[in-house]
Amino acid sequence: MAFNIASSPHAHSRRSTSSLMRTVILCSLLGVATQWYFFGWGVLIQVVLAGSCAVAAEALIVKLRNRPLTPYLRDNSALLTGVLLGISIPPLAPWWITVIGVVFAIIIAKHLYGGLGQNLFNPAMVAYVVLLISFPLQMTTWLPPVSLSAEPVSFMDSLSAIMTGFTQDGFSVHQLRVSVDGVTMATPLDTLKTSLTTGHTTTEILSGPVFGTIAGVGWEWVNIAFLVGGVIMLKMRVIQWHIPAGMLGMLFLMSTLGFLISPDNSASPLFHLFSGATMLGAFFIATDPVSASTTVKGRLIFGALIGLLVFLIRTFGGFPDGVAFSVLLANMCVPLIDYYTRPRTYGHQ
């Protein structure tokens, strides 16, 4: 009788890694569709481009490693990494930004450590942070929601802007960021963070056109869509509740304390929960079975650590969101968390 040793990810359900990864991708499509609805065709183009490049990079590095190609491509892990990175990249970022990020995620952050199950960090978030630090201008050039955009951007215009930097009518990406009232738009988190440093109160800032009912226009619905996708994964037992609960619970607690202490200089808990990449990070990124904690208590601590770091970075750090940095910093702590939260062996005194 053969005894096979396999690396993570491990699942208690009788589902293959390929099936689990495919389910995560399918559950993310509601969020992708919502993001496309509010931010245009560039979202879909980036996701398709990133996913295609990820599969190609996976095939290339597997071939160079002299490993069988079919098992690696069938597990859908490379495709999932590409989709998550494509969601995170601004819709009209240059094509080479996406290609560099995907290549770094697959070849460096994944296969340099030995492939799926051996990587210490979430590959998509490693690539995102590398791109954000290396190309901050391109990685922070988000378009205003379609309803606030002064210039409608068609599919061909989006494709042209991604490939050449200009639409078919000659508009640059910078010009496309101008809203209907002639103001160059930034993301809600960036707008809030920048405006607070100039002496404005939270109430004054949230009255701006980029903000909606509970968070930013479009962003609140994108987060709701990823929340629905995450709940579906919980129902299907694709992920467990501990990490999302720990992350969202800690973020809610810290933002509530901050809001109670200084309401004029702090956003509400709901704003934090439904802004930026909060729900995407909680359900689709932090729950990565390879780089996350593996014990029950450890998952709660791991998620809570991410939530705490997201709040601290958003409030005191130099970046408006901080989900990617928080996940990577928490990934570093996983061996220590697992060591101190491992369950007692049955029968051990």
Angle (deg, nearest 10), helices 123-134 and 77-88: 30
Alpha carbons 339 and 165: distance in angstroms, whole number: 49
Q: What are the sequence ranges of the domains in the chain?
A: 17-185, 188-339
Over its length of 349 residues, how does the chain's per-residue pLDDT go in tens digits?
454 544 555 555 557 888 899 999 999 999 999 999 999 999 999 999 999 999 999 999 999 999 988 888 888 999 999 999 999 999 999 999 999 999 999 999 999 888 888 888 999 999 999 999 999 988 988 888 887 776 778 999 999 999 998 888 888 888 777 754 445 567 888 888 888 888 888 888 888 888 888 888 899 999 999 999 999 999 999 999 999 999 999 999 999 999 999 988 888 999 999 999 999 999 999 999 899 999 999 999 999 999 999 999 999 988 888 899 999 999 999 999 999 998 776 555 5
Provide the strand spans (E) within 277-346. Answer: none
Q: What does the pLDDT look like over 38-69, one tens digit per residue? A: 999 999 999 999 999 999 999 999 999 999 88
- What is the Cβ-side half-sphere exposure of residue 310, based on CA atoms within 13 angstroms? 35
* pLDDT at residue 182 in the model: 44
Torsion angles phi and psi, residue 235, rounded to 5: -60, -35
Q: Answer yes or no: are the C-beta atoms of 318 and 197 closer than 8 Å.
A: no
Q: What angle do CA 291, 311, 190 make, to 5 degrees?
A: 105
Residue 334 CB partners (closer than 8 Å, separation 6+): 120, 291, 292, 293, 298, 302
> Of the candidates 177, 193, 173, 184, which has an alpha carbon nearest to the alpha carbon of residue 316?
193
Residues forming beta bridges with residue 166, ordered by sequence position: 172
Q: Helices (H), strands (E): how many in the chain?
A: 17, 0
Paired residues of 149 in beta bridges? 179
Cα–Cα distance measured from residue 5 to residue 9, given in angstroms and rounded to the nearest whole number: 12
What confidence score (pLDDT) does residue 8 get? 53
What is the pTM assigned to this prediction? 0.90
SS3 content of the chain, % helix, strand, coil (to 5): 60, 0, 35
Instruction: Supply the pLDDT for residue 213.
Output: 85
Q: Give residue-wise pLDDT tens across range 107-140.
A: 999 998 888 888 889 999 999 999 999 999 889 8
Amino acid at 243: I
Measured CA to CA, the distance from residue 321 to residue 313 in angstroms comes to 7
**What residue type is assigned to position 175 of the chain?**
Q
- φ, ψ of residue 19 in degrees (nearest 5): -65, -40
Nearest-angstrom CA–CA distance, 258 and 130? 30
